[in-house]
Amino acid sequence: MSDPVDDKQPAAGGVVLVVEDDEAIKGVVTRSLAHHGYTVIEARSAPDAFDTLDSATVDVLVVDIHLSGPLTGLDLLRQLPVRAPHARAIIVTAFASKDTAIEALRLGAFDYLEKPFRVPDLVAKVGAALEDLRAELDRGALAEKHNALFETIAGIVWFATDGGRFKRINRSGAALLGYQPEQLLEQAHEVLLPSETTDPAVHWAFKERRTGSRATRGQRVEVRTASGATKLFDVYSSGVRVPGLAPNIAASRSLGTVGFAVDVTEQVRERAAAEAERVRLELELRQSELAAATGRVVRGVAHEINNPLAYIGANLRFLQEQLADLAARSPGAPVAELVDVVRETAGGADRIRDLVADLALFSRSDPEPRAAVHIGDVLEPALKIAANEIRHRARVIREIDDVPPVQGSASRLGQVFLHVIMNAAEAIPPGHADQNVIRVRTSSAPSGDVVVEVIDTGEGMPPEVCARVFEPFFTTKPQGYGTGLGLSLCHAIVTSHGGTIVVDSAVGRGTTVRVTLPRATATPASIVAPVPALPAAGARRGRILIVDDEEVIGTALRRLLASEHDVIATTAGAQALELLRQGERFDVILCDLMMPNMNGLELGAELELSYPDQAKGLVFITGGTLAAPIAADEPLGCVPRVAKPFDIPALRTLIRSLVG
């Protein structure tokens, strides 16, 4: 043994246990290792070494193979995996044999040193043993980090055999599915798939053999959780192979599949919600455009109908009164049948008037302000419009109870119920009206909400159709007979009112559509202004000015009102102003809102400015559909209005109240 000190060896650190029964050798080894920066602990025998290992952390052992006592260095080696599993052992002996060296290495010795040895060789071997230990500890720490990452990564990471059986799966991934990893080990991948999964690409994603760009990338898979629910994952997987001697994949050996799956359930749900919102907005836009176009047509037609209806109604009323007067003055005059003819004609005109009013209600496209609405005031017009479609198919049973008003838009709700009632009619084949019923029922829910049910005895729908009735563009009608937008728009309208709409149907049992709407918090305003009481007999005769660009309307009104008042009719606002400039004064000015050159609002503004006393008797006449609404807080917003065709008794009462 020589060179006890080598100043060129760098200090290495670490704890070295020297197990040697020869005091001289032990002293040299201890001093040499201490000089190189090691912490050295000494032991004379294996039992002494065991005591040290039980109480201290040792990095490297330098062990003489022949020790005093019954236990040898090899016996000490046999205990190291239990007492110091990470320590490195260097065996030292003066009686070297090949078998002894092999046995020592088999028992886990790091290296072997023969006596006599050079101290630099010993120091070098101890340094190598310490570096090996540190490398192993670094690898262990890295493995722990990798394992921690594997177990906690946000997704499912797995390794499966060629047959698709899980050999390892991370804990966080298993937890996503409601499992412990142990529950999935050795299970076939099908345990995670719904039983109806038949797509080969889905199964292949768990048994992928290809690598590189040809491997599975982003395969969408529906995965079944432990609870039976399903989630959506995007799967990325690749084959794992051991290279063979030949430089091609055929010569390599497959170890299985490694895969990673990302939970995209919420992402898909959010995208679906965004798409549904986009479709909803598109539907609203289409509905708005369709309603606007339809509304323009309906309002235009209604205006053209209302104008002639105005003078037809006025003339019929005048004719009725004249015939009644003739019958009173000449009891024998043959006027009874003429009275009946006029009454029947007036009834027909009233039906046209009501139909136009109902169409105007349902064709509104402007954002009508929400207000308290009596549901019966919406259902009755809808039933009247649908009457022709219903009459050959079913009887209508009205169970429209007196329920609280709802908060909403009368026109929008009218569109909903008209569509639902028309659907009920179309579900019943024509020809057996006496055998079928459409029942319209209203009631109050325990919560105070208002419930409207439309129940038909039609053909009904199977569950798969019933489940999709509110989907946009879904229709069972032949091409060209339906857009599939009706019920989806109804659903959107009802939902926007804070309500719900549900469909209950079965083949052969008919269909029930149930609409629930929140009750209003305010009392609905009266649709028709209260009619002032008739004045006492002997009321004074007033002066009335009629301003309407259709001369025939002015003529009809003048003829009708002449028995009570002095009436002048003009066809332009400029003519009316000229009469006022000439000193004419009137108790009432009946002025059409829609006129060329100067409309009713412009004439009203001029009256407010130049003839405020005359503005007090201003009454607007409107076709009821084309004139823009005037808010109560706007100029002229409080001016009374009468709609064409006229309600003659109400018009007369209004005029009497203004004449005084």
pLDDT (0 to 100) of residue 76: 92
pLDDT (0 to 100) of residue 512: 92
- The answer to which of 36-45, 156-165, 366-375, 622-631 has the lowest mean pLDDT is 622-631
Band the pLDDT of 171: cuts 50, 70, 90. very high
pLDDT (0 to 100) of residue 4: 46
State how far the Cα of 654 lies from the Cα of 632, in Å rounded to an integer.
19
State how far the Cα of 619 lies from the Cα of 638, in Å rounded to an integer.
10
Q: Quick one: tokens of 92?
A: 């030292």
Band the pLDDT of 393: cuts 50, 70, 90. very high
Average pLDDT over residues 43-71: 91
Is the domain spanning 367-521 CATH 3.50.50.60? The answer is: no
DSSP 433: G
How far is the CA of 80 from the CAs of 15, 124, 136, 439, in angstroms?
Answer: 15, 22, 16, 91
pLDDT (0 to 100) of residue 266: 92
pLDDT (0 to 100) of residue 539: 67
Q: Tokens 């594997």 belong to which residue? A: 150
pLDDT (0 to 100) of residue 11: 39
Band the pLDDT of 635: cuts 50, 70, 90. low
| Percent share of the chain, pLDDT over 70 | 84
Average pLDDT over residues 108-113: 89
Tell me whether domains 15-148 and 543-659 share a fold: yes
| Percent share of the chain, pLDDT over 90 | 38
Whether the pLDDT of residue 530 is over 70: the answer is no
pLDDT (0 to 100) of residue 136: 86
Whether the pLDDT of residue 523 is over 70: the answer is no
Q: Which CATH code, of 3.40.50.2300, 1.10.540.10, 1.20.58.60, 3.30.450.30, is assigned to 15-148?
A: 3.40.50.2300
pLDDT (0 to 100) of residue 629: 52
Kindly report the number of other CB atoms within 10 A of residue 11's CB atom.
Answer: 10
Band the pLDDT of 405: cuts 50, 70, 90. very high
More confident residue, 247 or 124: 124
Specify the pairing of strand 15-19 against strand 60-64. Answer: parallel
Average pLDDT over residues 37-63: 92
Average pLDDT over residues 345-354: 75
pLDDT in tens, 492-506: 788 888 999 999 988
Whether the pLDDT of residue 581 is over 90: the answer is yes
User: Terminus-to-terminus CA distance in the chain, angstroms?
Assistant: 141
pLDDT (0 to 100) of residue 372: 87
Cis peptide leading into residue 645 (ω within 30°): yes
Q: Cβ contacts of residue 656 below 8 Å, gap of 6+?
A: 532, 534, 535, 539, 564
State how far the Cα of 231 lies from the Cα of 234, in Å rounded to an integer.
10
Domain 154-263 in CATH: superfamily? PAS domain (3.30.450.20)
Whether the pLDDT of residue 5 is over 50: the answer is no
Whether the pLDDT of residue 526 is over 50: the answer is no
How far is the CA of 30 from the CAs of 24, 335, 486, 525, in angstroms?
Answer: 10, 146, 96, 107
Backbone angles phi, psi at 267, to 5 degrees: -60, -45
Whether the pLDDT of residue 489 is over 80: the answer is no
Whether the pLDDT of residue 15 is over 50: the answer is yes
Band the pLDDT of 533: cuts 50, 70, 90. very low
| Packing angle of the helix pair 265-329, 336-362 (nearest 10 deg) | 160
Average pLDDT over residues 309-319: 83
- The answer to which of 277-281, 300-304, 357-361, 510-514 has the lowest mean pLDDT is 357-361
Band the pLDDT of 295: cuts 50, 70, 90. low
Angle at 167 between CA 164 and CA 173, to 5 degrees: 90
Domain ranges of the chain: 15-148, 154-263, 367-521, 543-659
Classify residue 553 as exposed, middle or buried by CB count within 10 Å of its CB (0-12, 13-18, 19+).
buried
pLDDT in tens, 173-221: 999 999 999 999 999 999 999 988 889 999 988 988 888 788 888 899 9
pLDDT (0 to 100) of residue 170: 93
Q: Cβ contacts of residue 200 below 8 Å, gap of 6+?
A: none
Q: Which CATH code, of 1.10.510.10, 3.40.47.10, 3.40.50.2300, 1.10.357.10, is assigned to 543-659?
A: 3.40.50.2300
Among 55-69, 108-122, 204-218, 578-592, top mean pLDDT goes to 578-592
pLDDT (0 to 100) of residue 627: 47
pLDDT (0 to 100) of residue 626: 44
Whether the pLDDT of residue 112 is over 60: the answer is yes
Q: What is the pTM (predicted TM-score) of this model? A: 0.45
Band the pLDDT of 360: cuts 50, 70, 90. low
Whether the pLDDT of residue 421 is over 60: the answer is yes
pLDDT in tens, 609-632: 999 999 999 999 987 554 445 555
pLDDT in tens, 210-260: 887 888 888 999 999 999 999 999 999 998 876 654 455 455 677 889 999
Whether the pLDDT of residue 456 is over 90: the answer is yes
Rounded to the nearest integer, the mean pLDDT of the chain is: 83
More confident residue, 295 or 439: 439
pLDDT (0 to 100) of residue 322: 84
- The answer to which of 99-113, 129-143, 348-362, 457-471 has the lowest mean pLDDT is 348-362
